[in-house]
Structure 1
């Protein structure tokens, strides 16, 4: 049995918080493999992406997975003292990219976001103009705007999201009752604002909507079958904000995956998707 660890667990200091970072071994027999930095979904720990990391490595890509603040190996867990929101999550993306800069130097870098992680990744590029990132990959991500949900479902999404926000404001933390895991009230506040208005709030005084329209980084945007939280139109809504960026838009079906998919389970059937991401990476200029 190999004694090589599945990944190296590291941490990035963020003031009184720490962000967990999982760095996987380099793919075998590949020189200067593009580096994929994964930003997870709300409440989903980095370790959940192990099957996806394995698929990406098999496709010839180096992999780093960063826990969102307060999730997984990141500490501390959200409490009533946790007032952070999207601004801090977006800043964490930059800190993670800086932490793995020695690994990224001289290679193409892909920033890959799932759900909330996709929002944070796109906003990082918008607010910083980061030219060290060569490509943005959005998988099962989008803006959870209630009007973007199909049929009458949106009329349920609006009170559901706003009820979660009201509860988080009252309790000063979201306990994770049936959705999203335990979250800081600011994260829920900003997420609920996007669900209600279809727009991102201003971040550190910057108009996030205007900033998104200036992003030039190539985008590979993938929706998945049976996604209950970010159906295809919510991803289209996010892609429309990236007006200046070249967008490659695809849909990942259950038939292509060879197994059932939804907002979460696509991770377990991601080998064909990993091949598409490797193809996207190969076409990027350094």
Structure 2
């Protein structure tokens, strides 16, 4: 199937924000197919995942891709007036699920997060009761703790990430200079916390580290060869926190292709097949 397959653009209203969701056609000949809800990376529009959505659909999965708050078709546009952070991104996942409930009720459901979208998915499952999600897939996700990088990058990462956080505090918003697109101060604050400490920040008074350890569903955790932002050790660190989960830890590469944190999306046919196989093996509710 061509990556040009069309989706239906829909919107979900939540707490003064509008979340854009892209609903792809059901896979041919697969009524009530399992559903994958894809949550993008920081600053990456949902439409960027069209090749990946096409591969997932070819593999027999129904696909919905949601723009993160403040990105793509979702509002509000990050500004000094925006204070949202990880807590709101995690809650937004539930708002999208609720909006889709009537159409997807009873179908096997997988949350799939890329980078920041993976953080939102993990924290949603940790902090919100979500019995209707059957599994979690993490692709190119990690806690970007500076000590988990190697070579010169290890010593440059801490001042780089904390410099972004300081700039955001100064301007009241991250302007998107060379990294991550325009972002609200809370998102950058919470992301910088993970880079500095290797831990999720406390949210709304909750101990997120303990809550993540209570996630008990199957998890497929895939790091990408050549990923410059979330190399293998950063995902290993995140997986180590999922102490109650059944984690399948894998590395992804495609012979003849040079991949990185973003370009894997355009070479994802084998990965889509693996995700479909993982989803088929999820236990019945």
Distance in 2, Cα, partners of 1:62 & 1:184: 31
Distance 2:154 2:104 in 1: 41
* Residue 148 (structure 1) aligns with: 148
Aligned residue for 1:266? 264
Q: What RMSD over aligned residues (CA atoms) do the two structures have, in Å?
A: 1.2
- How big is the shift at 1:262? 0.5
Q: Per-residue displacement from partner, 1:174-224 (whole Å, max 9, x unpaired)?
A: 000000000001100000011001111111110000000111011000000
CA drift of 1:75 comes to 1.7
Give secondary structure in 2 for the equivalent of 1:100: helix
The match for 1:16 is 16
1:81-129, Cα deviation, whole Å (9 max, x unpaired): 1111111101101111111112321211000000000011011111113
1:146-187 per-position Cα deviation (integer Å, ceiling 9, x unaligned): 111123422111000000000000000000000000000110
1:57 aligns with 2:61: no
Cα distance per residue 1:41-85 (max 9 Å; x no partner): 000000000000000000000000000000000022111111111
- In 1, Cα distance between equivalents of 2:277 and 2:103: 21
Q: Which residue of 2 aligns with 1:221?
A: 221
1:5: Cα distance to partner?
Answer: 7.3
CA distance in 2, matches of 1:219, 1:36: 13
Q: Which runs of 5 or more structure 2 residues have no equivalent in the other structure?
A: none
Contact 1:229 1:263 in 2 (8 A): yes
Conserved 8 A contact 1:52-1:267 = yes
Report the Cα distance in structure 2 between the residues aligned to 1:35 and 1:196, rounded to whole angstroms.
35
Matches within 5 A, 1:21-170: 21-170=21-170
Deviations 1:17-58 (A, max 9, x none): 111110001000112210000010000000000000000000
Residue 78 of structure 2 aligns to a residue in which SS? coil
1:282 aligns with 2:280: yes
- Mapped contact 1:12–1:21 kept (Cα < 8 A): yes
Change (3 A) 1:129 1:150: farther
**Count of aligned positions:** 281
1:242 aligns with 2:242: yes
SS of 1:166's equivalent in the other structure is helix
Cα distance in 2, alignment partners of residues 266 and 204 from structure 1: 34
Where 2:13 maps in the other structure, the secondary structure is: strand
Q: Is the 8 A contact 2:5 2:54 kept in 1?
A: no
TM-score, normalised with respect to structure 2: 0.96
CA distance in 1, matches of 2:31, 2:20: 27
| Contact 2:90–2:121, Cα closer than 8 Å, also in 1 | yes
Aligned ranges for residues 183-194 of structure 1 at < 5 Å? 183-194=183-194
**Which aligned segments of 4 or more residues in structure 1 are displaced greater than 2 angstroms?**
none
CA contact (8 A) 1:135 1:284 kept: yes
| Structure 1 residues 173-188: aligned runs within 5 Å | 173-188=173-188
Q: TM-score, normalised by structure 1?
A: 0.96
